[in-house]
Every structure is written in C-alpha cells, then in structure tokens.
C-alpha cells in the first residue's frame, strides 16, 4: 500500500498538473470502484480542481462547490498520468479523469478490487474519511509520545494504526523501527522516555528522508514504479539479507497477508521473535537467538 512518501509525491505531481483546471470528464471503467451514489459522479464534470490533498492514506481532489473525490489506493491501486488522447490499460483501469492537460488513470493490479473512489459534498462528509491519525511531520515529541501511549499495543501495530498515526504502513514502520533500534513487538506502555524520543526522531527522519529520496529520483515526472519494496531499504522486504548496520541476516514474522522484517541484533538484543506458524511447527528446534542460526 502506498504510504506517506509515495502519497506525498502523488499529491504534489497532481497539484502541478490539475490545480486550477476543470475536470472535463470522469469515466468509470469498473463500477465496483465507485462506492457512493449521491452526489452522482457526473456532477464532478466541469468543476475546477482548487486543491489536491492527502488525507491519511487517501488522496483528495477538492473541486468547486465543496465537492470532493476521495481516492483510496489500498494495496494494489496506482495512479498514472497519460497524454490527453492516450489509451489507458484496459484490464487494470478502474477510472479515468480527463483534464485539458492530460488524463489521470486510476488502476489496480490483481483481482481483489479493494481500491475505492468516493464522491462527497462538504467538508463534514470529507472529514468522515479521516481516521484521526496524527501527522508525525507536523507534531512535536510530546504529542507523538502521548498518542503512542494512548493505547497499549506493540510498536508495529501502533505505528500502522491509522487512528493513531497517519500515512504509515507495513513498509515504513519496519524502516522506522530498524532506525530506532526497537523491537516491533515491544509494548507502547513499557517504552521509557529515551526510547519514545528515539522512535519519534526515527519516524520523522525516515519519512522525510524517503520523501526527499523519491522526489530526487522522480524529478518533474509523474511518479512511476510506486512500490513498498525498494533495494535501498534497511529491513523491509530484506528477509535473509544482511542488515546494513550489523550484517546479521534480516528476520521476519509472517502474519495474515503481511510480514514484519527486523534485525535481531540491532532491535531485539539478538532474540529471534516467534513466528506463529513456523515456531509452532519447529517447536523446540525454533532458534532463540541470532547466534543459534550460525
């Protein structure tokens, strides 16, 4: 799922291309993507885009008349910018938004169809899509710590909970926790002041650095190749590969459709965290520390 750095680039690229322009036409290629009926999506046609926003992990096109198009990319949704008459990819296109300067194409790979588009009127209706997560690049350490410890969860769960923090998902939470040298399974209520400060600093540093890195790579082009797996990452998606800090193999915990990647030597004092499926299968053979892996 695209997270804050990629969504920031999408927002900025769209603002450059469509802010101040009328939305000439909306084509819904797959009807499931449109989750609202009132106001009708056709009402957006002819309206001028006066702002492009990021709302947590959603992107919002703010149109005249307090009309808002809310796009949630979910895991496999992506955006493309094409020339005005270019043909969008048929199989994966969900919706097309035509502007005088080009076409915004909303796509989704795979068959699960989780991406969504809502058309709503009024700031109050838009606010209903905001889960309330704190913007980590716009708060201080005290506010961050207060929000972090408002509920007792593992750090991994807390960072990825959209009600607690905005724009952070599976990929960047791994990177943040690796930078902070903290276990993903450490409990928020048990963090001391130094650890909470380290986590705050790591969160701001990772999100800022990756936004700037992706911005430098993209330049003035529209963001392409948006992915949660990048070779420059320290932990996420690097299971079995050497940690760039200590050289130990990166470990993982697999759960549901995701996995958590971490460095046992840097983050857990050498302990291998139990993977529910594998540790149950291996039982006594499950390694307890990074040194047991040989």
Q: Are both 181 and 53 inside the same structural domain? A: no
State residue 287's pLDDT score. 59
Considering its fold, how many domains does the chain have in total? 2
Residue 77 sits in the same domain as residue 183? no
Which domain CATH number covers 279?
Answer: 1.10.8.50
Radius of gyration over every alpha carbon of the chain, rounded to an integer in angstroms: 21
Domain boundary (127, 151, 175) is at 127
| Run of H or E including 121 | strand 116-121
Looking at 127, 147, 167, the residue that finishes a domain is 127
Q: Mean pLDDT for each 10-residue chunk of the chain (294 residues)?
A: 97 98 98 97 98 98 98 97 95 97 96 94 97 98 97 96 97 98 97 97 98 97 95 96 97 86 96 66 51 59
Give, to the nearest 10 degrees, the angle between helix 170-180 and helix 193-218: 130
Give the structural domain span for 34: 4-127
For 215, residues 6+ apart whose C-beta sits below 8 A from its C-beta are 9, 12
Which residue, 127, 152, 169, sits at the end of a domain? 127
Query: Do 141 and 287 fall within a single domain?
Result: yes
So what's the pLDDT on residue 280?
A: 45
Q: CATH no. for residue 75?
A: 3.20.190.10
Q: What torsion do the CA atoms of 199, 246, 240, 179 make, to the nearest 10 degrees?
A: 10
pLDDT of residue 257: 73
């Amino acid at each position: 799922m695209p997270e804050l750095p990629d969504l920031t680039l999408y927002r900025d690229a769209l603002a450059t291309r469509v802010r101040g322009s009328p939305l000439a036409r909306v084509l819904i290629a797959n009807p499931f993507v449109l989750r609202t009926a009132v106001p009708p999506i056709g009402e957006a046609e002819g309206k001028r885009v006066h702002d492009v926003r990021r709302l947590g992990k959603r992107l919002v096109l703010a149109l005249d008349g307090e009309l808002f198009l809310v796009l949630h990319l979910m895991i496999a949704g992506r955006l493309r910018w094409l020339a005005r008459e270019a043909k969008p990819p048929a199989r994966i296109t969900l919706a097309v938004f035509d502007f005088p300067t080009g076409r915004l194409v909303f796509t989704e790979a795979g068959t699960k169809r989780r991406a969504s588009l809502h058309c709503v009127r009024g700031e109050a209706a838009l606010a209903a899509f905001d889960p309330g997560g704190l913007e980590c690049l716009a708060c201080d350490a005290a506010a961050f710590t207060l929000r972090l410890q408002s509920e007792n969860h593992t750090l991994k769960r807390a960072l990825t909970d959209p009600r607690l923090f905005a724009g952070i998902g599976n990929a960047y939470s791994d990177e943040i926790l690796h930078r902070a040298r903290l276990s993903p399974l450490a409990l928020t209520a048990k963090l001391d002041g130094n650890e909470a400060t380290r986590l705050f600093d790591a969160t701001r540093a990772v999100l800022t650095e990756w936004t700037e890195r992706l911005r430098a790579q993209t330049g003035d082009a529209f963001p392409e190749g948006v992915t949660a797996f990048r070779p420059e990452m320290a932990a996420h998606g690097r299971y079995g590969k050497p940690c760039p800090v200590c050289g130990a193999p990166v470990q993982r915990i697999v759960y549901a459709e995701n996995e958590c990647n971490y460095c046992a030597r840097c983050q857990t004092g050498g302990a291998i965290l139990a993977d529910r499926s594998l540790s149950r299968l291996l039982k006594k053979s499950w390694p307890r520390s990074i040194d047991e892996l040989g």
